[in-house]
Amino acid sequence: MTARLRRYTPFATSGLQSLLQYRSMFAMTAMTAAAGAAVTVFLWRAVYAGTPGRGPGGFTVEDITTYLLVAQILQVLHTNRVDDEVAAEVYRGDVAVMLVRPVSYPVMRFFACLPVVGANAVLVGLPVLGLFTLLVPLTAPRPADLLLFTVSTVLSVLLAFCVNLLTGMTGFLTTNTWGVRMVKQSVVAFFAGQLVPLALMPGPLAALAKALPFRGMIDSPLTLLLGRYDGWAEAAGLVAQQLAWAVGLSLLCAALWRTALGRLEVLGG
Amino acid sequence: MTRTMTRYLRLAWFLGGVGLHRLATYRMDFVLGAGAFLVRVGIQTAVVGLVFRQVPAVGGWSYHEVLFLLGFSLLPRGLDHLFTDQLWELGRKLVQRGEFYRYLVRPVDPLFSLLSERFFHPDGLGELVVGAVLVGYAGSELGLSLSPVQWLLAPVLVLCGALLHTSVKLLFASLSFWTVTSMPAMYAANQVSEFSAYPLDIYHPSLKALLTWVLPFAFTAYVPCVYLLSGETGLLGWLPVVTAGALALALTVWRRGVNRYEMTGS
């Protein structure tokens, strides 16, 4: 097992090397993330401005600010470029070259995206968090909640990988993967709770969001971070749900990948 | 002078037709592109709706006023999107791959030549339609009745807003002549333009100043909407000045970049 996994480490290291050639990219990602966070943070802070103590959904001003800011940072961790790279390789037919190698393409992609996630966390996530700490008051989490959040974040990265891989695989069907990616981005951001916490959605919409896998990408980690759960059972339930979706989506990816390859035609082999 | 103008107009008309032809050929792409914008705007509207479920007013703006602002912000954006999105290609790869020379060898202005490669991006139609519907709906809910002057000015305001969007896009795309690719910078500027869809009153004063005087997206929606909704002119007088200034700056940077490109000749 370890020997098989070791095959994939070169993909991770080469991913990191190619990434570090474009260091200015991180400054730009940080800027866009900060801008995105500022829009939602200011919008919701204006809502909570008139209400002292706990406002709508039981959030304080600090809570809602922390929620939206960390949600934006999680979103940066989820932007692993798997969707556009897979789509482009399928679309150009480059994927055929990959198939000759004795590795699984989806697993290879997973390892190649790990350094992207790590670098984004350190070079984008931390500076943006630091910047906002200076500007607006935030809620400090309890140590136990921070631990739960860490576990939940790892699972959310896995979920995001699966969702992005599935999005990239639409390259088998359409040439306008740009449109598909844009729809995915908006829908996921909304139903994950990045723009509006699930606790502030009306009943039916919240029920729908809770039934979808995207909740595990943003809302679940943040519910844990802010300690907005009832006892250990509920916390464990949230993590278990994320885990179940991660396993389910991985299996779906594997199955669809196999089916798609069976139908793949590449010209000019 | 008039002869060149008519020549360019005829060319633009013809190339626009070619763009429409592409629409019929790649029908699925069009549906996905326009549909993507519908989904995006739909979600933006839903977020505004959910915000106003909690409170009656945000930063002194009511629900329908914010909807009006959101809808209005889509009009200049969509108009700009319809005609100038080829600039993204410039920022992304044309300089990087050394393909830019082909716009210099044609017997028309290089900027026209670049834009004419794809004169009609139908994705922008989605934004224009949704924007118009939102403005119409919110306007009638507010019982808004515009004065004749406001009716006359409204299209001018949209046009100026579109020119502002174009200026910022052209400026950042032209940076690629120095930095090889300026896609991330363009993307960042585009992200900042999202601020214009919400009332500027909710932002930190420094951010408000930035959006008014540095990246002047405030003039694409906020300033015109304050005028149309309340009749207060406020910053409106600055709009032509800012638009002309931004356009002049962007064209200067573009021209410098093009000259520089010729010199290196790569």
The phi and psi torsions of A49 (rounded to 5 degrees) equal -55, -40
Q: At B63, is the pLDDT very low, low, confident or very high (cuts 50, 70, 90)?
A: very high
In terms of phi and psi (left: phi > 0; alpha: psi -120 to 50; beta: otherwise), the region of B244 is alpha
Q: Which residue of A has its CA nearest to B187?
A: A32
Best residue in B51, B69, B121, B175 to probe A by mutation, most A CBs within 10 Å? B51
- Chain A residues inside the 8 Å CB shell of B194: 35-36, 39
Count of CB atoms situated within 10 Å of the CB of B56: 7
Q: Is B57 helix (H, G, I), strand (E, B) or coil?
A: strand
Say yes or no: A196 contacts chain B, CB-CB below 8 A: yes
pLDDT at B203 over 60: yes
Minimum distance, in Å, between the CA of residue A147 and any CA atom of chain B: 31
- Res B31 pLDDT > 70: yes
In three-state secondary structure terms, B61 is strand
How many CB pairs (< 8 A) connect A and B?
99
Calpha distance A188→A154 (Å, rounded): 18
Residues A242 and A216 sit within 8 Å (Cβ to Cβ): yes
b/e string for B189-216 if b means 16 or more Cβ within 10 A?
bbbbbbbbbbbbebbeeebbebbbeebb
List A residues 23-62 in contact with B (Cβ-Cβ < 8 A): 24-25, 28-29, 31-32, 35-36, 38-39, 42-47, 50, 55-56
Instruction: Kindly report, residue by residue over B108-123, the tens digit of the pLDDT.
Output: 888 888 887 777 777 7
What's the gap in Å between the CA of B148 and the closest CA on chain A?
A: 33
Q: A204-213, A216-225, B21-30, B136-145: which has the minimum mean pLDDT? A: B21-30
For residue A25, give the chain B residue with the closest CA.
Answer: B184
Weakest-pLDDT range from A157-171, A193-207, B33-47: B33-47
Give the residue numbers in B contacting A (CB under 8 Å), as ranges: 26, 28-29, 32-33, 35-37, 39-40, 43, 46-47, 50-51, 53-55, 58-59, 123, 184-185, 187-188, 191-192, 194-195, 198, 202-204, 207
Cβ distance B50 to A42 less than 8 Å, yes or no, reads no
Record: contact B195-A35, CB cut-off 8 A: yes
Which range in A45-49, A171-175, B223-227 is most confidently predicted, on average pLDDT? B223-227
Q: Can you read off the two tokens belonging to residue A135? A: 């500007």
Work out the burial of residue A240: count CB atoms within 10 Å of its CB; fewer than 13 is exposed, 13-18 middle, 19 or more buried: exposed
Instruction: Report pLDDT digits (tens) over A24-41.
Output: 778 888 888 898 899 899
Q: What is the pLDDT of residue A29?
A: 84
Please give, rounded to a whole number of angstroms, the shortest distance from the CA of A149 to a CA of chain B: 26
Of the candidates A165, A77, A162, A69, the residue with the CA atom closest to the CA atom of residue A118: A77
DSSP secondary structure code for residue A199 in this structure: G
Is the model more confident about A253 or about B194?
A253
CB contact under 8 A, B184 and A29: yes
CB spacing of B194 vs A47 below 8 angstroms:
no
CB B95 within 8 A of CB B101: no
**Measured between alpha carbons, how far is residue B205 from residues A33, A58, B189, B211, B225 in Å?**
20, 28, 19, 10, 19
Cα-atom radius of gyration of chain B, to the nearest Å? 19
Q: pLDDT-derived band of residue A269, with 50, 70 and 90 as boundaries?
A: very low
> Quick one: pLDDT at residue A210?
93
User: Which two three-digit tokens encode residue B258?
Assistant: 């093009």
Q: Is residue A236 very low, low, confident or very high in pLDDT (cuts 50, 70, 90)?
A: very high
Q: Identify residue B166 by its one-letter amino acid code.
A: T
What ranges do the domains of chain A cover? 1-262
Q: Which residues of A touch B195 (CB under 8 A)?
A: 35, 38-39
Tens digit of pLDDT for each residue in B131-150? Answer: 999 999 999 999 988 888 99
Give the integer Cα–Cα distance in Å for B41 and B74.
9
CB contact under 8 A, A176 and B28: yes
Q: What is the mean pLDDT of chain A?
A: 88
CB nearest to A47's CB, from B26, B58, B191: B58
Handedness of CA A200, A202, A207, A211 (dihedral sign): negative
A200: left (phi over 0), alpha (psi -120 to 50) or beta: alpha
Q: Which residues contact A40 (CB under 8 A, 6 or more apart)?
A: A68, A71, A72, A194, A195
Closest partner residue to A182 among B36, B46, B59, by Cβ? B36
Is A97 in the B-facing interface, judged by CB distances under 8 Å?
Answer: no
Name the pTM for this structure: 0.86
Interface of A with B in 170-189 (CB under 8 A): 174-176, 178-180, 182-183, 186-187, 189
Which residue blocks in chain A are alpha helix, DSSP H?
2-6, 9-20, 24-48, 61-78, 82-92, 95-100, 105-120, 126-135, 143-168, 177-192, 203-211, 219-225, 231-263
Q: Name which residue leads in pLDDT, A4 or B186.
A: B186
Which residue, among A145, A137, A80, A136, has the nearest Cα to A106 in the 3D structure?
A: A80
Task: Write down the ipTM of this complex.
Answer: 0.85
**Which tokens sit at A209?**
């969001």
**Contacts with A237 (C-beta within 8 Å, 6 or more apart), sequence order:** none
Look up residue A267 and give its DSSP letter: S
Position B67 pLDDT exceeds 50: yes
Is pLDDT above 90 for A85?
A: no
For position B70, what pLDDT does the model report? 94
